[in-house]
Amino acid sequence: MSDSRTIGIIGAGQLGRYLCEAGQALGLRTVIMTDDPSPPAAAFADRVIAGGLEDLAAARALVAACDVVTFEIESVGVPVLEYLAEVEQTGTVAVRPRPGILLTLRNKALQKAWLVAHGLPTAPFVPYADTAALRAALDAGAHPYPWVQKTQVGGYDGRGVHIARGTPDLENLLPGPCLVEAFVPHVAELGVVLARAVDGTLKSYDPVRLHFEASQHILDAAVVPAGLSPELARRAVELAERTVTALDGVGVFALELFLTERDELLVNEISPRVHNSGHLTLESCATSQFAQHLRAVAGLALGDVTLKGPTVMRNLLWRGDTSPAPAVPARLPGSGAHIYWYDKAEGRLWRKMGHVTARGATPVLAAAEAEAGCAAVRDFTAGACW
Ligand SMILES: Nc1ncnc2c1ncn2[C@@H]1O[C@H](COP(=O)(O)OP(=O)(O)OP(=O)(O)O)[C@@H](O)[C@H]1O
Ligand SMILES: [Mg+2]
């Protein structure tokens, strides 16, 4: 397989940052594209092209500077994705994954329609053009409580999700195009991160168990092993692999799954990129999801994903008012956990500022170590972040 030396990355947040760091270790050059004046990835990229996710001129400059273009975010402007699809057709520069995949997945209604069309299990849903259309359907009794409203585009970290349990929840419906799906009573949420190479080879990390912050629906913790029976773990991986193969995806993909009381697995969400649920691979495996993504899109052989041992990741969320954020070191007294701090200039309520990873002899011990890491960050930031 030939490898491609310069990788262009659309987006430059924390996911881009760890992609760039992985690129350095692999001897690959990275070029990021962003309109953020101080993005987390800037210090780790070889070059920064200024331009937002809708900026066609910046996308052209990125294509001119790279052998392969990839993404750390899916909410890229449609004209930019259409331009990249043309680039991919001409074959001068590889775009991985295919822009057509992002055109489908960036919109949750299109994503779920794709799942249904491919016979992949997901909660039933109805798309709505706007809140007025949704209200009319609700007046006609379309959705018994509880149900979940999701914005079709641009949602992240639970910000585009509204769970309605009764009439008071009708006061704060989300604006714009949306979908409504049945609330899925689940016993667990699982994540499967996997990579698919150019030749279709698949390597999946062990499934992780995901825990969410109850009020915000934002990821709090990821735990591996997930404590599943071997049969269930196999089914989760098989579902994820079937999905990414059906997409003809190249690169790392992350699936969020619901496990129901009857041991059914439903796909909640597909991300065509590295993902928060895969951050613990920085500790848990020889090849992190970031290195694996670059290997896949650069045409290199995929790396080892064998689990080294129980590992826990905790997100560090800002809980205070909007204010300048301090720099938190990678190690703090009182904890053996590894602190990954994204160096965002400003803390805002519920913003992801970093994460903590810890390994342990058992998941419980790893969780205790990670909790000690979060507590050390809380002390260091005078209660603003943990
Ligand atoms: N149909 C549902 N039934 C029950 N809970 C749900 C449902 N849909 C979403 N949730 C809850 O809300 C969380 C966030 O939903 P979802 O993953 O669709 O949104 P998101 O904002 O894109 O999340 P993220 O970007 O953090 O992955 C889910 O992980 C789950 O805890
Ligand atoms: Mg999600």
Residue 386 domain-assigned (yes or no): no
The larger pLDDT score, comparing residue 133 to residue 157, is at 133
Percent share of the chain, pLDDT over 90: 96
**Residue with the two structure tokens 């949602």:** 155
Q: Which ligand number lies closest to the CA of residue 186? A: 1
Identify the pLDDT of residue 214.
86
pLDDT, tens only, 304-331: 999 999 999 999 999 999 999 999 999 9
> Structural domain of residue 257, as residue ranges?
186-380
Taking residues 370-386, what's their average pLDDT?
97
Amino acid at 165: R
Same domain, 142 and 253: no
What is the number of residues in the chain?
A: 386
Helix (H, G, I), strand (E, B) or coil at 213: strand
Are 177 and 217 contained in the same domain?
Answer: no
Confidence band of 68 (pLDDT split at 50, 70, 90): very high
Q: Average pLDDT of the chain?
A: 97
In sequence order, what are the residues at sequence separation of 6 or more whose Cβ sits closer than 8 angstroms to the Cβ of residue 115? 121, 122, 243, 267, 270
- Please name which of 54, 14, 52, 46 lies closest in space to residue 33, comparing C-alpha atoms: 52
How buried is residue 92: exposed, middle or buried, by Cβ count under 10 Å (0-12/13-18/19+)?
Answer: exposed
46-56: string of b/e by CB count within 10 Å (b at 16+)?
ebbbebebebe
Out of 166, 182, 198, a domain closes at 182
What's the gap in Å between 47 CA and the centre of ligand 2? 30
Give the confidence band of 3 by pLDDT, cuts at 50, 70, 90: low
Name the least confident of 37-46, 108-117, 154-163, 375-384: 154-163
Pair (159, 195) in one structural domain: no
Look up the CATH number of the domain holding residue 162: 3.30.1490.20
Q: Give the pair of three-digit tokens for residue 266.
A: 């439903």
54 and 190 co-located in one domain: no
Torsions phi, psi of 105, nearest 5? -80, -25
Q: What domain count does the chain have?
A: 3
Mutate to test the pocket of ligand 1, among 217, 253, 274, 317 (most ligand atoms within 8 A of CB): 217
Q: What angle do CA 233, 359, 244 make, to 5 degrees?
A: 35
What CATH code is carried by the domain that includes residue 69? 3.40.50.20
Clarify whether residues 199 and 327 are in a common domain: yes
Query: Looking at residue 2, what is its pLDDT?
Result: 55
DSSP state of 241: H
Do 198 and 339 belong together in one domain? yes
DSSP state of 166: S
pLDDT value at 6 more than 70: yes
**Considering 95, 110, 140, which residue would you say is the last residue of a domain?**
95
Task: Tell me, yes or no, whether 109 lies in a domain.
Answer: no
Name residue, tokens 């895969």: 278
Backbone φ and ψ for 49, nearest 5 degrees, come out as -105, 125
178 plus 206 within the same structural domain: no
> Which one of the ligands is nearest to 259 CA?
1
What is the pLDDT, as a whole number, of residue 1?
Answer: 45
Same domain for 192 and 175, yes or no, is: no
